[in-house]
A = this chain, B = another copy of it.
Amino acid sequence: MATMNMIQAINSAMDVMLSKDPDVVVFGEDVGYFGGVFRATAGLQQKHGLTRVFDTPICEAGIIATAIGMGVYGLRPVAEIQFADYILPAFDQLVSEASRLRYRSAGEFWAPITVRTPCGGGIFGGQTHSQSPESIFTHVSGLKTVMPSNPYDAKGLLIAAIEEDDPVIFLEPKRIYNGPFDGHHDRPLSSWSKFPQSEVPEGYYRIPLSQAAIVREGSAATILTYGTMVHVSLAAVAEAGLDVEVIDLRTLFPLDAETIEASVKKTGRCVVVHEASRTSGLGAELMALVQERCFHHLEAPIERVTGWDTPYPHAFEWNYFPGPDRVRAALARVMEG
């Protein structure tokens, strides 16, 4: 056991896999000698060698296409996209190629690639360093999408993603790289070391994909959330003083529908919380899923707390970011309604 923040846990996952499997290679913009703009690959090139951890041209589409080709050869590429905002130039290679290859070749070829990318706001990154694009990926057949909320999960899920034979988008909420963030930006920052989820085994372990975690048991209502918003939701629940069940989805597609269904059937009330913008966001799918499976158990309309349907405005970071107050207000509404 060691104490790790999320960056260290992610770094450790790649280190473990590079040591375990000679077919694992890690690459992306500035990930080589420098170790990545968020230091996620720090020290890995020095330890594992120039051809196993290396820089790439600034060409996201080329990075993904290269990963696909390497995967077809038989390697297990782990590609970093420097910011999730910059994954869109690679959208065609991800959606039309990585996600479709196994199907169109009837299983002859596939793309066992993992695409790591930091997402989300709360760091004053402005419009193009703050976005949460996960929702569009959950609409793509053949792609798996993961977003951890703490160091322990991050390492176990990343190892599972790297070992996965299907393409995985691994989204890292950059706001919680160094410590959990409950949305109270005006309060002192807390570091991971004070939290049990920073207790991370040095070695190999997996957390299976498509399994949600109940991070707080409760009976009054269910919050479905993931990433940074897990911490915001927990804070809101504590402040509301309500016995709310909080579910960290961890894998966003394919979803863990059973855990979701069981919880909402138990509580009869549901709030969906994510930082991504609202319309056609993952929250919509969660609401659809819940009402399909729990319609007759619902005692109030499902509420969603999300980023607004605008770009992420630099100076209005905290007006955009869905903080605990908004979650609390939504909880109040579902409890009444």
Using a CB–CB cutoff of 8 Å, the interface residues on chain A facing chain B are 61, 85, 88-89, 91-92, 95-96, 100, 103-104, 127-128, 135-136, 138-139, 141-142, 253, 277, 279-285, 287-288, 291-292, 295-296, 298, 300-302, 304, 309-311, 337
Further pairs besides A135-B280, A288-B304: 16, Cβ < 8 Å: A85-B96, A88-B91, A88-B95, A91-B91, A91-B92, A103-B127, A104-B127, A136-B136, A139-B277, A139-B280, A253-B280, A280-B282, A291-B291, A291-B301, A292-B301, A292-B302
Given the complex of chains A and B, what is the CA–CA distance between A136 and B276 in angstroms?
13
Contacts of A310 in B (CB 8 A): 103, 141
Contacts of A104 in B (CB 8 A): 127, 311
19 contacts between A and B (CB under 8 A): A85-B96, A88-B91, A89-B91, A100-B311, A103-B310, A104-B127, A104-B311, A139-B281, A141-B277, A141-B309, A253-B279, A280-B285, A283-B288, A287-B287, A287-B288, A287-B291, A288-B302, A291-B302, A296-B301
With A279-B285, A284-B280, A288-B288 as contacts: A139 and B135 at CB distance below 8 Å? yes
Total identical chains: 2
Given the complex of chains A and B, what is the CA–CA distance between A292 and B287 in angstroms?
10
Among A88, A135, A142, A281, max chain B CB count under 10 A is at A88
In the complex formed, the residue of B with least CB distance to A104 is B127
Q: Closest CB of chain B to A189's CB: distance in Å?
A: 29
